[in-house]
Amino acid sequence: MEAAEAVGSREMRCPICGFKVTDVPLTQTEVVYVKCRKCKFEGPLSPAYFRRMKRAHAYAGPYKKRGMKQR
C-alpha cells in the first residue's frame, strides 16, 4: 500500500481542446485509449508525449542575445 502511494501521477489532457482526460501513474509507459468528454475526441494517447518540457523563456535564445524583437 505504501509503494502505491509513493508513486506520483500526472494528468493527461486532450490534444485538441486541452480538457483533462485522465490521470496516469508516472511509471506507466503503455498507450492509453481515452475519450474526451468535451470535444468527443477518441483515440490512443502515449504518456511519453505528455512529459513536462522545459520552458522556452528560461533560455536566452539567439534573438535575445542580439537584442532583436521576438514575435
Spell out a b/e string for 17-55, using b for 16 or more CB atoms within 10 Å of the CB, else e.
eeeebeebeeeeeeeeebebeeeebeeebebeeeeeeee
Q: Is the pLDDT of residue 1 over 80?
A: no
In percent, how much of the chain has pLDDT > 70?
66
22 CB contacts (<8 Å, ≥6 apart)? 11, 12, 32, 34
Higher-confidence residue of 60 and 37: namely 37
pLDDT-derived band of residue 5, with 50, 70 and 90 as boundaries?
confident
Higher-confidence residue of 50 and 14: namely 14
Query: What pTM value is reported for the model?
Result: 0.60
- Rounded to the nearest integer, the mean pLDDT of the chain is 77
What is the spatial distance between Cα 29 and Cα 25, in angstroms, rounded to a whole number? 9
